[in-house]
Amino acid sequence: MTQVTTVVFDLGNVLVGWDPRRVWSRSLSDAEIDAFLDESGFHELNRSLDGGVPYAEARAQLEARAPHHVATLDAYWQDFAGSLTGPVPGSAELVAELRDLGMRLLGLTNWSAETFHHAPVVAPAIGMLEDVLVSGREGMVKPDPQIFALLVERYALDPSRTFFTDDTSANVAAARDAGLHAHLFTGVEDLRAALRDLGVGVAPAGS
């Protein structure tokens, strides 16, 4: 069995919870939020922000096609920290345990460069990572194979000794295509089990 020496974490909903509906729920009903998400194309817009598009540009695009939704988008952007729900349960403890085992720890996240500074404040375990490759700084997003190639090149990784976890199946598949060990994150207990299956000496799930 090849020894894993590096663990790479996705951040959103792996180390730090993210739920934009929390911001809007203070003033909008669930039905109004659903309408905004659909009519604004929020998920595509958010992906463009993750890919490095400045907020001012994304806002202008929305204003041109759906000006009545701009205030709702602004509310999210201005209170982005309110969309972060805190550390994913058990994640900080696992990161600390891996650090104490001498593992190299990195992050690879789809995140806007303009809001990334909020993440380590809400989930301090991110600060335990050696570095985080942020899509919004690089102009490419997972599951683009180029971002995995950049990860390997920038940090001089041996893919066969690198373990990656993400909560999106397409990103996991792309990591596997890049030669990394990859795990679909569904919770810290399953992640512990996957690491142990590869010989990483973390405590068993539920211990």
- What is the three-state SS of 11-74? CECCCEEECCHHHHCCCCCHHHHHHHHHHHCHHHHHHHHHCCCCHHHHHHHHHHHCHHHHHHHH
Supply 23's token pair: 């911001």
Residue carrying structure tokens 């974490």: 9
Please give the CATH number for the structural domain made up of 6-17+86-197: 3.40.50.1000
> Is this model's pTM higher than 0.85 or not?
yes
pLDDT of 2 reads 62
**pLDDT per 10-residue tile (average), the chain, 207 residues:** 89 98 96 97 97 98 96 97 97 97 98 98 97 98 98 98 98 98 97 96 85
Domain ranges of the chain: 6-17+86-197, 18-83
> Considering only CA atoms, which of 91, 119, 125 is closest in space to residue 195?
91
